[in-house]
Amino acid sequence: MAAFWLMKSEPDECSIDDLARAPGQCVPWIGVRNYQARNFMRDAMRVGDGVLFYHSSCAVPGIAGLAEVASAPHADDSQFDPASPYHDAQSKPDAPRWQCVDVRLVKKTRLLPLTEMRVLPQLATMQVLQRGSRLSITPVTPAEWAAVTALLET
């Protein structure tokens, strides 16, 4: 049984349109530098899991499309790139600290704004809506997934 996730991306870095233009409409989810979020990718995600693609730190934050986990976990190359903002000098190539998965577009949807999500009782349990929640990757329950995907059809 596949699981479901919400993954935040800053559209300045990688928007839903950037994902749509990427080769194979697939990108490695680089740049996660939080252990809890890394552990979700490294330990819990499976190929085929559903992903809510969320735009954060932008004019209208919200869910911008549906995607899926498209690879097993692998090393995040940006940790070894001194020119990258995600460079981690402490991480050694023989023991990479940061892992990521590839994420493939399923479909771009209408934008479901955070403000709309906040007033919908069926979404009230979503982790991304909880007070003080900052985690860039959060699990989504089957019920939440069903509610969000239904809303995106409307």
Partner DNA sequence: GCCAACGTTGGC
Total length of the chain: 154
5 within 8 A of 51, measured Cβ to Cβ? yes
Mark the segment that binds DNA (CB under 7 A) among 15-23, 39-47, 110-118, 145-153. 110-118
Alpha helix ranges (H) inside 5-141: 11-14, 16-21, 35-39, 114-119
Site string for DNA, 48-67 (x = CB under 7 A): --------xxx--x------
- Residues forming beta bridges with residue 138, ordered by sequence position: 6
Considering the rule CB under 7 A, would residue 135 count as an interface residue with DNA? yes
- Find the shortest distance in angstroms from Cβ 114 to DNA: 5
Largest CA distance in the chain: 48
* Run of H or E residues at 51: strand 50-55
Considering the rule CB under 7 A, would residue 89 count as an interface residue with DNA? no
Considering the rule CB under 7 A, would residue 36 count as an interface residue with DNA? yes
Among 2, 13, 17, 35, binds DNA (CB under 7 A): 35
- Residues forming beta bridges with residue 95, ordered by sequence position: 92
Nearer to DNA, 23 or 132 (CB): 132
CA distance 89 to 91: 6
- Find the shortest distance in angstroms from Cβ 1 to DNA: 27
Q: Which residues here bind DNA, judged by CB under 7 A?
A: 8, 10, 33-36, 56-58, 61, 114-115, 118, 131-136
